[in-house]
Amino acid sequence: MRISERFRDEVLSWPGVEARPHRFGGIEFRVQGHEIGHLHGDRLADLPFPRRIREELVAEGRARPHHVLPQTGWVSYRIRGEADVEGALDLFRRNYERLTAR
């Protein structure tokens, strides 16, 4: 199973999550009208967070500044193989829980 398929199956199992094509390619996951994050193929995840959380994630080494928009709250997470999947899913889950707690 491809990494993106594994992601899709896992994230879509969370209540209220929808998937759609992302405008720059890949797949985007949304809940309650807000983007949780998106995947570009099997190798890169991008997620929107408030800047405070983004700073924490980057400082902890859990994510990197967004590869195109480094001054925003967005983060990027490189997926090099199976060993990185859980770290990326943790970020998606954190954003999902943040958005559904509202």
pLDDT tens, the chain, 102 aa long: 688 898 899 999 999 999 999 988 889 999 999 999 999 989 999 999 999 999 999 999 999 999 998 889 999 999 998 889 999 999 999 999 999 997
Number of domains in the chain: 1
Q: Which domain holds residue 13?
A: 3-100
Residue 72 belongs to domain with CATH number: 3.90.1150
Minimal CA–CA distance to 92: which of 59, 56, 48?
Answer: 48
Q: With 0-12 CB in 10 A as exposed, 13-18 as middle and 19+ as buried, what is 24?
A: exposed
pTM, two decimals, is 0.93
To 10 degrees, what angle do helices 3-12 and 85-100 make? 30
Residue 55's SS3 state is: helix
